[in-house]
Structure 1
Amino acid sequence: MSQSAHEYETEATRAASAGTSADAETAYGEVVGFLTDLIRIDTSNPVKPERPAAEYVAEKLAEVGLEPQIFESEPGRASVVARIEGTDPSADGLLVHGHLDVVPADPADWSVHPFAGEVRDGLVWGRGAVDMKDMDAMTLAVVRRMLREGRRPRRDVVLAFLADEEAGGNFGAKFLAAKHPGLFAGCTEAVSEVGGYSMEINPGLRLYLIETAQKGLAWMRLRAAGRAGHGSMINDDNAVTALAAAVARIGTHEFPVTLIPTVRDFLAEVCDAMGIDFDPAEPEQAVAKLGPLARFIGATLRHTANPTMFNAGYKTNVIPERAEAVIDGRFLPGGQEEFLALIDELAGPDVVRENIHLDRSVESPFAAPLVETMLAALKAEDPAARTVPYCLSAGTDNKTFADMGMTGYGFVPLKLTPDLDFAAMFHGVDERVPISALDFGARVLDRFLMSA
């Protein structure tokens, strides 16, 4: 653990503690231990249940006087929810949520074992180090310190550590929203993953990306039916041929560039900071100059539809009666109907589309008091901080909570080293996060929660 983690005190801490000092073992030094412990609890979705991680989190919350509840949607598929009562009963509540599941990882591809929780070269390595057990660990460390020091936030803070986010949230956020909505009573805003991290322009200016929008999700199955027959015969009603042509049309289609307000504002802010001319009519020119960040931002300029699976046939010399394919579609905010209509047009009349999982897009205001609070917390720890809005090309459980009326943001504050390709860490090989970024994030998160 770093010396800065032990020595850190916010102004609110000094005022609330009235001269008392926190025990080093119960301060932010806990964050690295929490993260390595959580990484070592393999919660690969869907083959490993979240229950062991949920029990771990609940135990840590109960140790400081909270009353966490564990909810199972199915055996082993567990989420944890706890509420911290604020000092102002009239204030709206804030939901801080993270997910306990991770995507699978093959140890053969990694430099370290993905579930060893190894600490090396000043970084924590392992599946979930970035997506998103780092935020889970920071939240635990911050909340435990706050409560041990007798500090409470102004507004109620609901903590949710959720199952199944990586597969759409049906066994986690969606289950709780449908079956236990009272857990989130009074919450009007939500904070979760894939935002708040830094992009260094120069030593005197770091942009912290606040996720204010998310593309919609359309996982689709395409089906084609034809006439079965012998592979040696002429067959003008071949299901494989019809489906392959449809998949090719969809996979090679170039959707037009559409600048939603969040993406336009992001590019304008970043180009201004980098001294780059920004022409809204040619946004791809600006994106091309963003380096590794272009991986995140490039896909937010347009709808996307990528074929990911194809299944047909059972024998070389038999023309099958049916064929199926799967498409991963992502549509821009406001573009759902247009996107699905175009997919149907590209698929053609002989192919049927079925929605496997359809989830909304979201777009929240950047000019908002909660975002101002994020900036103040960041600048208190990094005077070179400047916040910018951005659109996530993927999605988070904020979509579910948007259906419950909450305005959602991505805010996991991390001050990153310029050499780390952060975008590659999400679902990537050798996922890792700097310990210094965890220390920083815990300090910022404390300030944020105490002043939100």
Structure 2
Amino acid sequence: MTAFNGEDEVAELCRDLIRIDSTNAGDNAGPGERAAAEYVAEKLAEVGLEPHILESDDKRANVIARIEGEDSSRGALLLHGHLDVVPFNAADWTHHPLSGEIADGCVWGRGAVDMKDMDAMILAVVRQRLSEGRRPPRDVVLAFTADEEAGGTYGAQWLSQRHADLFEGCTEAIGEVGGFSVSVGEARRLYLIEAAEKGIAWMKLAASGRAGHGSMLNSENAVTELAEAVGRIGRYEWPVRLTPTVRAFFREAFEIEIEAHDAEAAVAKLGSLARMIGATLRNTANPTMLDAGYKANVIPQTATAHVDGRFLPGYEEEFFATIDELLGPNVTREFVYHDIAVETAFDGPLVRAMADALQAEDPGARAVPYTLSGGTDLKAFSRLGIRGFGFAPLKLPADLDFSGMFHGVDERVPVDSLQFGVRVLDRFLDAC
């Protein structure tokens, strides 16, 4: 078998994946993930695996493969990454988002950080290890999924419901949005490992009233009723709620025990990271869409709006009670998408393996837990009893606004960060 060097090929793997259009607008009408799945399956088959491509719908494809470990009696480890990406406006980018351009030391394109970088790192480290005949200490299941960007209906959710047998024995998992470095001050380099995720409540609001002529009095105006409810939700100041993971973040990162009245001031010191960490101090609900009427002089009978709600682990009941109070009696809500919050303790052998692998490659590394303000496929896999973390290790330049590139313009990842990630994942697999 040809020997592969993960550090040498990871950038090219990432570039190839970016060039495969797998945009997901959430309407099941895009190009799908089939082409990306076939690429991944081919790369895995080259090193002796037998990957399964599973289509949940036309072109909506997932790839699953299992690597037999030295001790298959132990609980298996799941490595998961999604193959879809969010849409883009190419005119806004320095390099075309499907070009996979390598420039200024970075791989550019949609998916470079969310999350074809991690897909490439998984492929690179697996290909190197298997081509060298190195098996992991325990079974490893690889899952490259469809549809994560729209909630995983055709991906992780479908797999966990229809093909749970493929994850038999999996007890732990690592996936996206964690393991990346954040420089705090001049000497401290934190590596954020996701140990919790907020729950998701995408809601459609609706108000009904009495249709009529725009020149006449109308006390039952649906637009007014809805607008007032949207305004109440959008301006509401949610109280700070310190979850165990948020407290652990401040304890590990700054060696302080944080209290609610001090939390926002502490977050303000985190620079660009404040956007992400700040959203984990409280529930959030952001109005995102409005729709009503069809003519300037006609009062419509109905008006609708959409709200992106995110609730902290342990605070779902409080979230919906507050939303219903803010809506008032004349506005209804229904779910566009609803999913759970997840949280796990930041302890145990897997956490130590992540921290040790980071420190071996970066002696200044400090692994700290954090809560993700968004959501990942981990939600679906957690329903199978799998304990998961976000761990896609990248050592990043201090001035790179990494969190701001998720779903943003000019998404890119440094080549040397990808190579660092391959080395860390290799050490991690040896120790897990």
Deviation, structure 1 residue 279 = 4.9
Question: Is the CA contact (8 Å cut-off) linking 1:264 and 1:280 kept in structure 2?
Answer: no
Specify which of 398, 409, 430 is matched with residue 429 of structure 1: 409
The AA in structure 2 aligned to 1:130 is V
Deviation, structure 1 residue 204 = 5.2
Specify which of 381, 389, 392 is matched with residue 412 of structure 1: 392
For structure 2, the residue ranges without an aligned partner over 5 or more in a row are none
Q: Are the structure 2 counterparts of residues 169 and 277 from structure 1 closer, same or farther at C-alpha, using a change threshold of 3 Å?
A: closer
Q: Are the structure 2 counterparts of residues 290 and 204 from structure 1 closer, same or farther at C-alpha, using a change threshold of 3 Å?
A: closer
Aligned to 1:36: 15
The AA in structure 2 aligned to 1:326 is H
Aligned to 2:47: 64
Matches of residues 9-408 of structure 1 in structure 2 within 5 Å?
A: 23=3, 26-46=5-25, 47-201=30-184, 205-272=188-255, 279-408=259-388
Percent of matched pairs sharing the same residue: 63
For structure 1, the residue ranges without an aligned partner over 5 or more in a row are 1-20
Aligned to 1:9: none
Root-mean-square deviation over aligned CA pairs: 1.5
SS in 1 for 2:360: helix
1:440 aligns with 2:423: no
With the length of structure 2 as denominator, give the TM-score of the two structures: 0.97
Q: Which of 248-257 and 263-272 deviates more?
A: 263-272
Question: Is the CA contact (8 Å cut-off) linking 1:271 and 1:286 kept in structure 2?
Answer: no
The AA in structure 2 aligned to 1:229 is G
The AA in structure 2 aligned to 1:102 is V
Deviation, structure 1 residue 353 = 0.8
Matches of residues 1-12 of structure 1 in structure 2 within 5 Å?
A: none
Deviation, structure 1 residue 271 = 2.3
Deviation, structure 1 residue 169 = 0.4
Question: Is the CA contact (8 Å cut-off) linking 1:213 and 1:391 kept in structure 2?
Answer: yes
Question: Is the CA contact (8 Å cut-off) linking 2:55 and 2:62 kept in structure 1?
Answer: yes
Cα deviation per residue 1:288-311 (whole Å; 9 max; x = unaligned)?
A: 011111111000000000000011
The AA in structure 2 aligned to 1:405 is G
Deviation, structure 1 residue 419 = 1.1
Aligned to 1:3: none
Deviation, structure 1 residue 449 = 1.3
Question: Is the CA contact (8 Å cut-off) linking 2:6 and 2:422 kept in structure 1?
Answer: no
Deviation, structure 1 residue 380 = 1.2
Question: Is the CA contact (8 Å cut-off) linking 2:240 and 2:260 kept in structure 1?
Answer: no
Q: Distance in 2 between matches of 1:417 and 1:179?
A: 42
The AA in structure 2 aligned to 1:344 is D
Q: Are the structure 2 counterparts of residues 254 and 203 from structure 1 closer, same or farther at C-alpha, using a change threshold of 3 Å?
A: closer
Deviation, structure 1 residue 277 = 9.0
Aligned length: 428
